[in-house]
Amino acid sequence: MDFKDSFKGKKITVMGLGLLGRGVGDAEYLAECGADLIITDLKSEKDLAKPFNRLKGFENIVWRLGEHKKEDFEDRDFILVGAGVPKDSPYLAHARQAGVPLHQSAALFAQLSNIPIIGVTGTRGKSTVTRMVHHVLSQATGEAIILGGNIRGVSNLQLLREVHEDALAVMELDSWQLQGFGWAGISPQIAVFTNFMEDHLDYYKGDMDAYFMDKANIFTHQEDTGVLVTTPEVFTLIKEKQLPVRGEVSLADTSVLPEDCLLAMPGEHNRLNAALAYQALKATSLSDELIFEGFASFGGVEGRLQYVKTVDHVRIYNDNNATTPAATVAALEALDLGNKNIILIAGGSDKGIDVSPLVDAIGEHCKKVLLTPGTGTDRLLAGLTNLSCERKVLPVEDLKQALEEARLAADNGDIILFSPAFASFEQYQNEYERNDMFMRLISAI
């Protein structure tokens, strides 16, 4: 199926190119389709060197870097808005006043492709559930199932090349991408809402209701034939907020899985992830036999409580994508079998989330804690004063030193767990860069 005519000759402003590969892929696709593009980003050409070099050969691109100009948001066919653009941006407000539509690439893919989509959101677990559903469907059907949304390096508009008459997509959708679904007034046919916890309070300025309402776009625009898979806790919030639920509701907890259901991933939270994936897969009419067979062969997702290797009888886990205290608490509870033998590497940029549950969990589960720099680290250190006095907590300069200290402290049978509990921005451009650094350090051992 060819979607080039949807963009050929259209005047489009791309706001926020980003550094993760998704935005540059979207812009490249639009340029190849013959759109008249303005790319505007507050970052400089130096900051955006890689995407700039990738796109600089297109004569139909005008660059506006280091600033935004209001005239770039008027007299355009639409604005393609990148993830993380502030909800109260005066430039988006100007576009609305000028009658210029706003789009986000994941929702635009859904609108144009018009194929069935299984969408997954939630504060935690959405990546694991998305990959699990995709893995099982791919294995069971033998077909190339489209994987998109919040996937590293994957442009949602480039995915339009993969669309065919019988195509099916599984999409991980964060709250920013779901803003776009709200603008479009659409929701995935099968919506999975894993959980709802404190996160992104820096972006939402402490307004948890605004955060929830963005997430809720995953189901609020479903038709009567839609299916919402969620937990009783999230469904209680939905009812409290009196949000519309038009389709079937399928509630999940770990009891929906038989006790002999084999999972390669540790932790009770991963059994709940599997239960949510199971209910979503049942909605596609897949048999239990095929679902459980797929679960047994699913090894997990990089950076999400990922077992990496064993070195000198010490197991090493990468939980880089644990960017909230609650996520790190879940990892500690999943790995500690009562031996209190975990050496935790954590630290990073503050999101304004309560750290006291993590302080308690560290005292309960950790043998030693290494903390990399950051505003979140400073708050955690203040709560760990008593543990610090016992020389259990050690601030370090970077991941390299953290891993060196962790290996020195580790005895046979111990676990080194990298689970930051905070965002990456103090020392890295994004969480993927932090993940890659940790994996390079481990591969060098």
Query: Could you state, in order of their start, the residue ranges of all structural domains in the chain?
Result: 8-103, 106-296, 306-443
pLDDT of residue 400: 96
Q: How confident is the model at residue 388 (pLDDT cuts 50, 70, 90)?
A: low
Q: Are 82 and 58 in contact (CB under 8 A)?
A: no
Average pLDDT over residues 100-113: 98
Average pLDDT, the chain: 94
The CATH code of the domain at 306-443 is 3.90.190.20
- The 10s digit of each residue's pLDDT in 2-31 is 899 999 999 999 999 876 778 999 999 999
Same fold, 106-296 and 306-443: no
b/e per residue 340-350 (b: at least 16 CB within 10 A): ebbbbbbbbbb
Structure pTM? Answer: 0.86
pLDDT of residue 390: 56
Whether 269 shows a pLDDT value over 60: the answer reads: yes
| Centroid of chain to Cα 188 | 17
Q: Are 80 and 26 in contact (CB under 8 A)?
A: yes
Q: Are 371 and 396 in contact (CB under 8 A)?
A: yes
Residue 81 burial by Cβ neighbours in a 10 Å radius (0-12, 13-18, 19+): buried
Average pLDDT over residues 32-53: 94
The CATH class of 8-103 is alpha beta
CATH 1.10.238.10 fits 106-296, yes or no: no
Window from 198-207, 233-242, 244-253 with minimum mean pLDDT: 198-207
- The 10s digit of each residue's pLDDT in 310-363 is 999 999 999 999 999 999 999 999 999 888 999 999 999 998 889 999 999 999
More confident: 83 or 332: 332
Q: What is the CB neighbour count within 10 angstroms for residue 443?
A: 9
Task: Report the percent of the chain where pLDDT is more than 90.
Answer: 83
pLDDT of residue 272: 96
